[in-house]
Structure 1
């Protein structure tokens, strides 16, 4: 179970990286493209799976539930904004907000 958990952690990090790459590709005229929207959504789903595995498994340490709650709120806001404003024409100012939420979420994961 520990190996699966670590593989999913890397997939989760990869989803955040894909979302940020999707933003960088349209930086000159910001919009929410498929890479950004689906990367954030996949990272959100994988985050839930990771918390479930960590909570159920004896091999992986139990998660910090306060940290998980804050990260879930931030990620849910990012997913909602990404998918809710995806059809707006460029330049879409919400792309900057989604990326800011991604960076806040990564900062919480790293520094907390």
Structure 2
């Protein structure tokens, strides 16, 4: 079970890295890459699977999981709105994406 959890943690972090990397790559033109929306959705799904695996294996920190779920949902919604709007994405949505991604990582490390 430990290997499976570690594998999903690695995949989860790779998805967040891809999402942030595609945002950085598109930051100059503000033309969102569809991979950003898909990577955030993949990180959300992998996070839910991880939460289920941790819940089966032990006593999870429900506050941390709830905060991460909420921030992940916000990141996914913002990424899909940016994908839908294209270069006309409002600044609040555009800069909310990396903010949500970094906040999710900060919560994962420090909470």
Does the TM-score normalized on the shorter chain lie above 0.5?
A: yes
- Normalised TM-score (structure 2): 0.90
| Equivalence for 1:95 | 94
**Deviation string, structure 1 residues 14-59 (Cα, Å, up to 9, x no partner):** 00000011111111122332121111100000000001001112xx
Query: Can you give the 5+ residue segments of structure 2 that lack an aligned partner in the other structure?
Result: none
TM-score, L = length of structure 1? 0.89
Contact 1:20 1:36 in 2 (8 A): yes
Which of the pair is proportionally richer in helix? 2
Unaligned 5+ residue runs, structure 1?
Answer: none
User: What is the correspondence of 1:17-36 to structure 2 with a 5 Å cutoff?
Assistant: 17-36=17-36
SS in structure 2 of the partner of residue 56 of structure 1: helix
Checking the alignment, whether the CA contact within 8 Å between 1:9 and 1:50 is kept in structure 2 is yes
Counterpart contact for 1:21–1:35, Cα < 8 Å: no
2:97 match: secondary structure: helix
RMSD of the TM alignment (CA)? 1.3
How many residue pairs end up in the alignment? 109
Q: Secondary structure at the match of 1:31?
A: coil
